[in-house]
A and B are shown apart, each in its own frame.
Chain A
Amino acid sequence: MKKIIFYTLLLSTVFYMSCDDLLDKRESSTLTGKQVFSDPTLFQKYHDDIYTYYHYWPGDWACQSFGGLGRIGYSSFEGASDLAEASRAVAGTNASFNLGNWSPNAYGAQVELTWPWTGSYAAIRRCNVVLEKVDSVPGLSPVKINDYKSEALFSRAFFYFELIKRYGGVPYITKSLTEKDDLNFIRQPFDSCVSKIVKDLDEAYPNLPLKRDAAEFGRPTKGAALALKAKVFLYAASPLNTESYDVSNGARDADLYFYEQPNTPAEIQQKWITAAKAAYEVIALAENNNNLYALADSAHYENIFYGDPTNKEILFSRVDGKFSFDGSKALMGWVSFKDVGASKGYGGSAGTYPTQNLIDMYEMKDGSIPILGYRSDGSPIINPASGYTDDTLMWTNRDLRLKKTVLCNQDFWQERKVQMWFDKNNPSISGTEMKDAQDYTTTGYLCKKMWPEELREGKTASVIMNWIWFRYTDVILWYAEALNQAYGPDVDALGNGLTARMALNKIRNRMNPAFPTMRNVVANTKEEFHERLMNERAIEFVYEEQRWWDVIRYKKGIDVFNKPIYGLRIYRTSTDPLTFSVTRKKIENRVFYDYMHKYPIPYSEIEKSTNLKQNLGW
């Protein structure tokens, strides 16, 4: 007995020495690379992960909601521009961009400043892996292989454009890296990045389909590739990337910075011509293929972003799926539509409000300009000929897009009138503290453009939404802009039978087809034309994250963004009859410094690589 116990114990200790396979992990729930790249189904899943990175940089709760409405801490990036004001003070653009204190580490700004860097390179890695591995995945037909390659090439181009529009020239990586590789890359000049992007797009183009099957909607097409190319050329021709860039901030060592070579005027003109040609390629594609793309008409303008995604206006979009008011849809993340899209009185806590600055930019219905400028106290200089009055009638007789984009006081919405007013008779507890006006916003306006009326408190209705990357209106305006910059508004130098003015007027008149020439642009010079064109872009694309880049690429940040933002204060002056008074109210003094025309490369990355130089001034 004793001996048995003794030897059992002795044996058991020896057993420990020899038996470490007790610790083996025999089975696994996880996949290895070997499995992923030898199974067509898994490979498809690996490939589709590229699309995760289309603008919605994974990892942050705040950037996953619909249409960019909640992309930056419950608010839209449009709040960084003069067109909108974010409602969320802590994490939105108004704690960072608007104050002129943004840096790569600023809370709220990270989503836009740091993550595009990380997210784009993450997507680019996936593209590189697909391109490297696709040929050796068993069971793929040559056609399928080419499909994968064209999608990956398009995506790689797309993400490099996302990088260069923010940071300028960046390290251009076209193979999948391991941590053992030398990762100390140098930044490529902007133009060199552009030509590599274009090369990828040209290579992708032949294998991309003209149109996607309904189930595959959301993947790139020939039109998407041409549109991206046109946009890349347009940005390459824009002053930010062609003219000299001199900024100053702080007293730092010049060696730390990355410098680009400016272009000569001739080179610049050539760039505009290239951009115009590239834009026209998209137009030609549409026209040669049975009007593959067309401008959304008046009836469809307001629901380009929701409703029917096969709208011919759309060239390329991210499919965001179906949304309901409470946002049970998984794609919404932690943020519900009501948190970012609906206002207080309608059961939400809206994220971003249109500004009076935007309202002032809308022309009159007939195309005349209501406000010519501002006095030093901020009051508007009104064009009396336009018939505009700076009172409660200010929203009448304006460009039809105004009321399709913005909800103003007393507009009818979700079965009642929007109440944006305070009661002057009860001033004791008015103000933002005790009792907000029922549908109160800081500016006195709400965003209607991204708010389907069906999405209502207490209702379960759901709406398909898409975030559009390229739409046909944009293409036409690129063409107009590039051609005007190259030759002026009325020269058909490329022989397309479409001058810059003709292109712009297409957009200006499309809302009111009964009067096809009423809103023809009034502009004599190239400069006047350009000014009206940029105004057109601001109005047309508000909330689509275009304004910031349109101002930045012309180096107009100081002129446009270093200015106060205005809203309206509306009082109810009597109840019967119902009357109101309006006062313009300064919401915020915006601050912008010249070095902010290019984003800073994340400090954390600059610290890691001796070769990675920072943008000037940061």
Chain B
Amino acid sequence: MKKHIFIFLILSFSVTAFAQNRITGIVADEKGEPLVGVSIVEKSTDGLRTNGTITDFDGKFVLVTKQKQGTLNFTYIGYISISKAFNGSGNFRITMKESKNDLEEVVVTGYMSQKKMSVVGSVSTVNTKELVQSPASNLSNALAGRLTGLTTVQNSGQPGKDDASLYIRGRSTWVNAKPLVIVDGVERENFTQVDANEVESISILKDASETAVYGVRGANGVLIITTKRGKEKKPVVSLSAQYGFQQPVNLPHFLNSYETALLRNESYLNDGYSADKLPFQPNALEAFRTHSDPYHYPDVDWYKVVLKNAAPQAQYNLNIQGGTKTARYFLSAGYLYQDGLFNASMNEDYNTNFRFDRFNFRSNIDIDLSKQLMLSVSIAARMEDTNEPGATGYSSGEIQSAFSALTRTTPYETPVFQENGKPGVGPANVNPWLMVNGYGYTQNKKDVVESTVSLNYKLDKITPGLSAKALVSYDSYISEQKKFTKNTAVYRLDSGPDEENSYTVSGLDTEIKYNNGDTNSYDKFYMEGALNYARKFGKHNLTGLLLGNFEDKTFSGQYIPYRTMGLVGRVLYDYNQKYYSSLSIGYNGSENFAKGKRFGFFPSLAVGWIVSSEDFFSKYTDIVEFLKLRASYGLVGNDKIGGSRFMYTEEYSGRDSWSTLSVPAFGTTDPINVDIVTLSRIANPDLTWEKSNKFNIGLDANFFDNKLTTNFDAFYEYRWDILMDKASIPVYLGVTSPSANIGKTQNVGFELEAKYSNKIGKNLKYWIRGNWSVAKNKVLYKDEPANKIAWQKEEGQTIGQFYGFQVLGFFDITDFNDDGTLKSEYAKQLVGEAPQPGDFRYRDVNSDGVVDDRDKVAIGHSDIPEGTFGFSYGIEYKGFDFSMMWQGAYNVSMRIAGEMLYEFCEGGKVQDFHLNRWAYYTDPFTNELVDTRATATYPRLHSQSSSPNWTTNSFFLYNSSYLKLRNIEIGYELPIPQLKQLGVNRLRIYLNSNNLLTLSKVKQVDPEGPGYGSNRDRGWSYPQLAIYNMGINITF
């Protein structure tokens, strides 16, 4: 993509040849390999009409110069430019050196590509080489730690549903902080299933100067994916195949039956039960210890039974890249599968396990219809098929039931199979193994087609440097769900150990049958027309863009399409490649706002100064090769404001299906619900989008012959008009209070990036890279009730700040009177049951003698990290390469509750850390004193959920900072000359791994968080995965 744009730009200078001086030559790299597409330009005298060509497949070129004497400039991306004087005709042999300088790289920004040197906004880019190092099947998960300023949070490892949440520079709104995603110039809902092998580069646009062109949709930052395109060269066929295994990163460590029973007894003792009332009497404890009777006294490690140790995954990709002078192509086809972790072995005819299969195809073709007109056709298609156990509902519910059963079914609840070989259940009527084997499955199929056709027309005849572009895109997304149900009979053992076995059977064994299906689809039409202008006037460089676009998105079943339209204007100017400026304007709007309030105007300005190009700086250039200062300021919007559509209108409606449940009925014989109508939304005619003022300063510096390159950015963002319900309106109003654009936030931070690469001797190359991003947001204004308790106000806090009780420690025995009541010097605790020794002592924040809801304060941080960092390093030696990439996040909290944290939650189990509980009692069966008071790291155990400890508090809120070894890769390029004869240019084999190591205080789940939605803190979700992978790349 980069190259073709570059070539296109060069070609756009019209060729007016009339002189007869003919120069030929060949351009090669240091190894002697010919370079294809090197641009050769005759240095012009008038600065207007330029003459040039590019090298062909064999690196050869022919140029008829206008003058007899002059200079040729050779430029090639990634290589140091060369000037060569000529005098008359001749044959040149040029050797170009690879540039260590990335300033010549082309960076894709909003609606255009620029040389990195000329970028004055804030952009980070990652290239395909790094992306394919990650064996993660989901592109969003391959981004972690690679892009400065990008925060990724992966909440689940479920095959096909493991998208990471992405935040560019953290978040500045509590509504929707998702960045805009652009794939090949068109907004696309999702990019996460794009095959990494198809990607040329991924850029994120961070500051106002880069995002203002997206106007009302740019405030959360923009993520731009550019796929590979053809090049004028002989076809290169790349084949890659990889195969690996996935393992869960973190799983809770539940205790076995014996240990669980001991603690269960302890919890009953703690709650005042006498020895004879304890649930496990000595004979039962002994049976658990000795495993003497696995049917009456089972001891099942459900995670072991239900989850496999490892599940395979594989990925294959074949792509061809090449082209002729007039047509260039990139074709790619891939297949990926990811098997589920469940032990779903009961059914041979069908699969109830999780599974993901993806077929992807991409064809990017560029054809020069004439010297002026280029046609580009890009088509991408994907089939994404997922499989999930169970068939009673949408997937989230299924996952929850599979995992909730795992998290709370005790080891002694039931054997997996009864003595008669049938699936067993206990009092809760649940068998976790059966949850993934016995109740059918659900298939989800998603078909995606994304197509774009564009025409580029050079209009140099009108005025040099002018070109026009028209683009039309049509995308279609169809998802289908099919449910297959089955029921399985379960057996509950009724008889005691000394009796003949008898069972209560519930449910029936049924055959698998198709239950029902559901199809959802939407299609999207997008068009844009643009005028581009790029011209050099002496030392003045001018680039201009004027673009109009329109988008129409229609969902099946929704007849009002989502529409946006807008205008984009952009002018880049530099003087002598020393002083840069960029003016960008977005003017756009959507159908979601009232007429007359639809369109917003978003301007931005950026300036840059390459200090190192100044004469006075030349004395420093030995050390500081390059130094650029940048600054930008502008206004951007966010129209993803949440709430329903058309909030500018009043709406009366019937109850939606969810609350239909409480619609009244009348009559005596067969009462039926009456229809009702209610005011469901008060009109807010002033509804508008969020606005954001962004200020950015930056510094790019390269040191030591460009061996060390650094970037630094600092930013300040002020976001206002954030939509929120008017929380200060009392409920006397009697209807949902209207929402209004009233919230304000700020977001401050910085980013630092450094790369160093060097050689030792001739063959040993090494490199090290690091990035560090900090984004700290603060709520400046929220419509909060006037009398809200000062320490519970969200103003002044981080978005998503946790609140809870402050734990001062455990109560000790001496803190209580003889009758068991708390001594009067302590505040009365109205939290769960009255506290006892070993329970949490909470802080009475307002000192009113009572600990209640008023004493909750801000604790910890929010669930999105404030700081993220990544660092990687690698060496290359002859054919070997080795690299490691670490990534981490800090200043982040995680709330875990329910089965993942509390003892015996929902009658459930206990984990290894519960062994460190506070205990002080005499075991009634052994008469031994149990005293863990001095070492306790968990409060007293309770038998009921009314425990005063079960709250969100400073003790239980985890610091979920982490450091992960995201990638480690070792590869070897086989130096086998015989392969050349087979047509193989390159053959590389490698081993790599994802998430090999995770260091965090959170042990029972992945520190990035378990799952989505309201039960996310209970660990009812598919675990994140570590992948061990091997692969081979062959290039023909």
**A binding-site residues for B, Cβ under 8 Å:** 2-3, 5-6, 8-10, 12-13, 15-17, 19-25, 27-33, 35-36, 42, 45-46, 48-49, 51-52, 54, 56, 58-59, 64, 89-90, 94-95, 99-101, 103-106, 117-118, 121-126, 128, 171, 173, 176-179, 183-185, 214-219, 249-252, 308-310, 318-322, 330-334, 344, 423, 426-429, 431-436, 464, 591, 603-610, 612
Contact = CB atoms under 8 A, between A and B. Distances in A.
Contacts of B853: 103-106, 603
B533 to A, nearest CB: 12
Contacts of B906: 90
Given A9-B468, A429-B497, 19 more contacts: A2-B461, A12-B548, A13-B529, A16-B550, A28-B649, A30-B653, A45-B674, A52-B663, A89-B945, A90-B945, A101-B831, A122-B735, A179-B726, A183-B732, A185-B730, A252-B848, A333-B661, A604-B785, A605-B730
A428 B496 contact: yes
B598 A309 contact: no
A308 B529 CA distance: 72
A101 B426 CA distance: 33
B830 interface: yes
A463 to B, nearest CB: 12
B945 A429 contact: no
Given A16-B565, A219-B666, A6 B548 contact: no
Contacts of B563: 22-23
Given A95-B945, A436-B427, A17 B659 contact: no
A251 to B, nearest CB: 5
Given A431-B279, A605-B730, A24 B650 contact: no
A32 B650 CA distance: 6
A101 B832 contact: yes
A609 B659 contact: no
Interface in B280-307: 280-281, 283-284, 287, 296-297
A434 B279 CA distance: 8
Shortest Cβ-Cβ A-B pairs, 7 listed = A125-B734, A51-B664, A607-B785, A333-B661, A433-B279, A45-B677, A49-B676
Contact of B787 (A128, A178, A423, A607): A607
Given A49-B677, A103-B830, A429-B496, A214 B529 contact: no
Nearest to B829: A101
A464 B669 CA distance: 8
A309 B668 CA distance: 6
A176 B678 CA distance: 14
Nearest to A115: B731
B509 interface: no
Nearest to A49: B676
18 contacts: A23-B564, A23-B589, A28-B649, A31-B677, A32-B649, A33-B679, A35-B652, A36-B677, A45-B677, A178-B733, A215-B668, A218-B671, A333-B662, A423-B496, A427-B281, A428-B497, A431-B279, A604-B785
Contact of B667 (A29, A126, A319): A319
Interface string B667-686: 11111111111110010000
B851 to A, nearest CB: 10
B728 interface: yes
A559 B650 CA distance: 52
Contacts of A219: 666
Interface string B426-462: 1100000000000000000000000000000101011
Contacts of B496: 423, 426, 428-429
Contacts of A427: 281
Interface of B: 264, 277-281, 283-284, 287, 296-297, 372, 412, 426-427, 457, 459, 461-462, 468, 470, 494, 496-499, 529-531, 546-548, 550, 559-560, 563-567, 589-591, 595, 598-599, 646, 649-655, 659-679, 682, 726-735, 737-738, 785-789, 830-834, 847-850, 852-854, 906, 944-946
Nearest to B684: A179
B31 to A, nearest CB: 44
Nearest to A308: B668
Nearest to A16: B548
Contacts of A214: 667-669
Nearest to B297: A429
B559 A27 contact: yes
Given A125-B735, A173-B732, A176-B734, A13 B567 contact: yes
A594 to B, nearest CB: 14
Contacts of A332: 661
Given A30-B651, A46-B676, A331-B665, A610 B786 contact: yes
A608 B735 contact: no
Contact of A218 (B470, B665, B830): B665
A121 B730 CA distance: 10
B729 A217 contact: no
A118 B731 contact: yes
Contacts of B666: 51, 215-219, 319
Given A177-B733, A608-B785, A45 B675 contact: yes
A185 B732 contact: yes
Given A20-B565, A48-B675, A179 B737 contact: yes
Contacts of B595: 20-21, 23-24
A109 to B, nearest CB: 11
A3 B850 CA distance: 81
Contacts of A5: 457, 459, 468, 470
B731 A330 contact: no
A464 to B, nearest CB: 7
A93 B231 CA distance: 71
A25 B652 contact: no
B929 to A, nearest CB: 25
A330 B661 CA distance: 5
Residue of A29, A33, A49 with most partner-chain B CB within 10 A: A49
A607 B559 contact: no
Contact of B662 (A58, A185, A250): A58
A46 B831 contact: no
Nearest to A252: B848
A31 B652 contact: yes
A89 B905 CA distance: 10
Contact of B849 (A10, A218, A251): A251
Nearest to A17: B567
Nearest to B461: A2
A48 B676 contact: yes
B896 to A, nearest CB: 17
Contact of B529 (A9, A27, A177): A9
A114 to B, nearest CB: 9
B240 to A, nearest CB: 41
Contacts of A126: 678, 734
B309 to A, nearest CB: 30
Contacts of B946: 89, 94-95, 99
A219 B674 CA distance: 12
Contact of A12 (B529, B589, B847): B529
A31 B462 contact: no
A330 B677 contact: no
A179 B529 contact: no
B677 A46 contact: yes
A10 B567 CA distance: 12
A59 B659 contact: yes
Given A118-B731, A125-B734, A214-B668, A13 B548 contact: yes
Contact of A330 (B468, B651, B660): B660
A605 B734 CA distance: 13
A608 B786 contact: yes
A16 B831 CA distance: 60
B735 A591 contact: no
Given A428-B284, A464-B671, A25 B560 contact: yes
B852 A310 contact: no
Contacts of B834: 99, 591
Nearest to B530: A9
B281 A428 contact: yes
B427 A250 contact: no
A179 B729 contact: yes
A20 B599 contact: yes
